[in-house]
Amino acid sequence: MSWLVVAPILVPFATAIIAFLLRERPLGRWISVAGSALALLAAGLLMAQVLGQGVIAAQMGNWAAPFGITFVADNLSAVMVVITAIAGLAVAIYATAEITPRMEYLGYHTLFQVLLAGVTGAFLTGDIFNLYVWFEVMLIASFGLLILGGRPEQIDGGIKYVTLNLISTVLFLSAIGLLYGMTGTLNMADLAVTVGQVENQGLLTVVAMMFMVAFGVKAAVFPLFFWLPASYHTPAFSVSAVFAGLLTKVGVYALIRVFTLIFDRDIGYTHTVLLWVAGFTMVTGVLGAAAQMDFRKILSFHIVSQIGYMVLGLALFTPLALTGAVFYLVHHIVVKANLFLIAGVVQRLTGSTGLSRIGGLYTHAPLLALLFLVPAFSLAGFPPLSGFWAKFLLIKAALGVEGWFIAFLALAVGLLTIYSMTKIWAEAFWKPHPDGIEPRIAMLGRAERWRLLTPIAGLAALTVTIGLFPEPFVQFAEATAAQLLDPSSYVTAVLGERP
């Protein structure tokens, strides 16, 4: 059954190769869509398997753990892989209408699929050095995507993105080196066992902090998030949607994985730091958004603020809080990718994303207004959408450990999120267009309309579904949290039964 674990990684790689060979023909973009659909199928099969028989591990080349490279699918990995595939398919369809033949020739679809492969690999690997390699695969592809097209603001944003991510990479590498020096292993399940035998536990906490900073840059937490709002509004909309949905979430995933599996010994210190980080991230993100007047920049700052909620779940470290964090991760990927896709349509209809220069969408494109309201309300946490349950679980968890202040912060940030969404609504949708343009959906070509709006509608439907029928999702998130807090099933799946 080990093939199911690697299939979600192999499919995007194969798609990338075929899409590159066909990049001069329209067929190339449909290969990308078909490959994404196939990846979703593979991810779904993996999910079914994990639900059926618990954690599965695959040893590459039949080299037994901890000597070879292991890929592991537990609940968290499986759900992240599925949601990655969903976001990937939505963006692949959207990209068929947005990406120009010139960008296709330069390898857009290939880079996109390699990015998906890197993200999926990072979710599935059970080896910390291999995680580094997947981070780099993802990073190289994201560099390429970010500056594809080569407009000056892209280059400018690219410089900031590249430099800060390089620092995080080197820090991650150094932390791996030190951890290896102390424990003599790189397999994450083996690390979970061996960190207990390290004599100098204080040094271990230092290494834990290095990992926190390295992943913190990727996840864009306070005070390491500056690269994100500097670059995410510059590339093509398909690119920023997939970045917004997936890239920072890989950082959050890595934080959750490492701080539940390996560094769970000095919780009093590490998780307190995480709690402060979470609080500051939520507040600075939402305040940054309040000062912006560009559709995509507001959304970028909101990514930062939402990351704070997920880190909050990890920092509280109770079953309920981790349930909330997992639920939030899934909800956030769907909603955020969707909002960026909508920003793309808005830009097409009105000619800009600067809020002062656009308007009139409510009167002339009511369908788009409706499609915007679903993820926007969900992001702000209105019942009965997915964001409500995510925030509800986290705040309940905070109240459960008597964290009155952090619960208050989470509620206040939710209110300010509504303020930002109202601002977008009032400026882009409610007021008439300053140039008197009437932005109608009919302005898009027939084929274009379907390709742009189907993914948006699909993701919105997913948000509504999660919101209306949260029980199975919450139950699954609870099982995931239980698995994270008691890593024994993970360790057993990788290393086998031990006396």
Q: Least distance from C-beta 491 to another protein, angstroms?
A: 20
Q: Least distance from C-beta 230 to another protein, angstroms?
A: 6
Nearest to another protein of 129, 269 (CB atom): 129
Cα 249 from Cα 58, distance rounded (Å) = 24
The alpha carbon torsion through 428, 433, 435, 439 (nearest 10 deg) reads 90
Nearest to another protein of 48, 170 (CB atom): 170
Nearest to another protein of 64, 267 (CB atom): 64
Cα 288 from Cα 293, distance rounded (Å) = 11
Nearest to another protein of 16, 315 (CB atom): 16
Q: Least distance from C-beta 290 to another protein, angstroms?
A: 12
Q: Least distance from C-beta 272 to another protein, angstroms?
A: 28
Q: Least distance from C-beta 72 to another protein, angstroms?
A: 13
Tokens read off for 194: 């061996």
Cα 469 from Cα 155, distance rounded (Å) = 44
Nearest to another protein of 212, 329 (CB atom): 212
Please name the residues in contact with 383: beta carbons below 8 A apart, sequence gap of 6 or more.
467
Please name the residues in contact with 248: beta carbons below 8 A apart, sequence gap of 6 or more.
218, 219, 220, 228, 303, 307
Q: Least distance from C-beta 62 to another protein, angstroms?
A: 5
Tokens read off for 290: 């309040």
Q: Least distance from C-beta 5 to another protein, angstroms?
A: 9
Cα 483 from Cα 293, distance rounded (Å) = 42
Q: Least distance from C-beta 32 to another protein, angstroms?
A: 14
Q: Least distance from C-beta 455 to another protein, angstroms?
A: 26
Nearest to another protein of 231, 386 (CB atom): 231
Nearest to another protein of 10, 369 (CB atom): 10
Nearest to another protein of 173, 209 (CB atom): 173
Nearest to another protein of 98, 294 (CB atom): 294
Nearest to another protein of 139, 365 (CB atom): 139
Nearest to another protein of 210, 380 (CB atom): 210
Distance of CA 411 to the CA centre of its chain: 22
Nearest to another protein of 15, 238 (CB atom): 15
Q: Least distance from C-beta 57 to another protein, angstroms?
A: 11
Site residues (vs another protein, CB under 8 A) = 2-3, 6, 10, 13-14, 16-17, 20-21, 58-62, 107, 110, 129, 132-133, 136, 139-140, 143, 147, 150, 152-160, 162-163, 166-167, 169-170, 173-174, 176-178, 180-181, 186, 229-231, 233-234, 291, 293-294
User: Contact at 8 Å (CB) between 311 and 219?
Assistant: yes
Q: Least distance from C-beta 374 to another protein, angstroms?
A: 29
Distance of CA 295 to the CA centre of its chain: 19
Q: Least distance from C-beta 171 to another protein, angstroms?
A: 8
Q: Least distance from C-beta 308 to another protein, angstroms?
A: 22
Nearest to another protein of 137, 406 (CB atom): 137
User: Contact at 8 Å (CB) between 331 and 371?
Assistant: no
